[in-house]
Structure 1
């Protein structure tokens, strides 16, 4: 198999959550350029329409599904809709995430519960719905987008860190249960990335400066840099990589 073939997603069907913004939007572009058809899942209908245009502009099919993954029934409904339309999903990227940065003593129960629902419960519900078809074909890729703060403490991110630590642990159990079916499950853990959510949290230079000073690379991550790592984990080139937390952090966690 050639280099191009090993990294190609031609003929693959990929479901991406949080597809209407930031890393999700860029990932739909990157994966469709690599040959994948895309199921784009998000709440923002206008954003989904833009993603559909980009994917189809790359000559691939795009199914858009509007879903609020914080609702208990929404993740499974979205996954079943994708299966009903396309029969199977080869690649799942759980990218959707929310954060309400507050000190632990100020975080509300409602905010805590929503963060866990979107960042941790939804990936489990979608995966358990899609995995039986992956098991049947003895092939599949699952990438859960986690965070640098799954490994290092970050003030005002207690609920978010709890969800991402949980996601890393969930991914390892996915590996333990599904690796025998040739399903690879990994997390990608970015540092600060200037998505709309990243801008909301880190847009103030007075807050961003001290964080960047701790990153040996001296800058934040670009969305495409995160997406290229996800692309590798979704390709045949990564068939022996599973159960790993891959940090895209410019060296932050090396210190």
Structure 2
């Protein structure tokens, strides 16, 4: 019997990176896990690697299809809103199309999925836990992140409002705020020392986060060990935000 035996979990953005590793970890810890991604091939390879997982293929930017897909699998006791879209570029050339899409996935979809999951828990009078995956970019301005930073700042405040309203109903809501994470894409994107050097210089621990660093923080926030932690944004940043 694992720590999460008897609990049903939903992880969005589960096809790769942090989401994929988290799904595998939660299955190992005894949860019944639903992995959501818009990329069918990623879900198929995840299913092959971790046969115990159940998969959902839906594009989170589609409000109605997402809502219908999540309603089919409730109740969910452990929700991790991990999916996100990132596109960087100068403020002066930021487009309304990228703005709308990034806010749709990074903020609006979190509200959508969370409404279905937590609304059901409230109706059932059951306890639950939500963890939103934010970023250090929600608390610190970064060059070329004129849209991404505001989406994560909005997600941080949404997390706190959810905690305020849902806490009395037995549902805790927190977020993690990682620095650069060395996923497969992260290793490629930050492989250039000219790009990585200035960021590393601002991290007291002198390294970027590994996927496991973020997964472990999420697992803590999902678990009963963090039962009095509610409405917090937990940096997983090696001290970046302290500097």
TM-score (norm 1): 0.90
Query: In the TM superposition, what whole-angstrom CA distance separates every residue of 1:100-147 from its partner, at most 9, and x where no partner exists?
Result: 111111111111111100000000000101112222233001000000
Query: In the TM superposition, what whole-angstrom CA distance separates every residue of 1:5-42 from its partner, at most 9, and x where no partner exists?
Result: 7xx11111100000001000111111111111111000
1:139–1:183: 8 Å Cα contact kept in structure 2?
yes
2:27–2:53: 8 Å Cα contact kept in structure 1?
no
Distance 2:105 2:186 in 1: 17
**Root-mean-square deviation over aligned CA pairs:** 1.5
1:111 matched to which residue of 2? 98
User: 2:36 aligned with 1:37, yes or no?
Assistant: no
Superposed displacement of residue 53, structure 1: 3.0
User: Which stretch shows the higher mean deviation, 38-47 or 199-208?
Assistant: 199-208
Superposed displacement of residue 199, structure 1: 4.2
SS in 2 for 1:189: strand
SS in 1 for 2:15: coil
1:30–1:228: 8 Å Cα contact kept in structure 2?
no
What does 1:1-255 correspond to in 2, within 5 Å?
8-56=3-51, 61-83=52-74, 88-135=75-122, 136-199=124-187, 201-255=189-243
Distance 1:64 1:193, change over 3 A: same
Distance 1:99 1:138 in 2: 34
Superposed displacement of residue 195, structure 1: 2.2
Superposed displacement of residue 55, structure 1: 3.2
2:136–2:177: 8 Å Cα contact kept in structure 1?
yes
How many residues in Structure 1 have an aligned counterpart in Structure 2?
242
Distance 2:212 2:177 in 1: 14
Distance 1:74 1:162, change over 3 A: farther
Structure 1's unaligned 5+ residue stretches are none
TM-score (norm 2): 0.95
SS in 2 for 1:152: coil
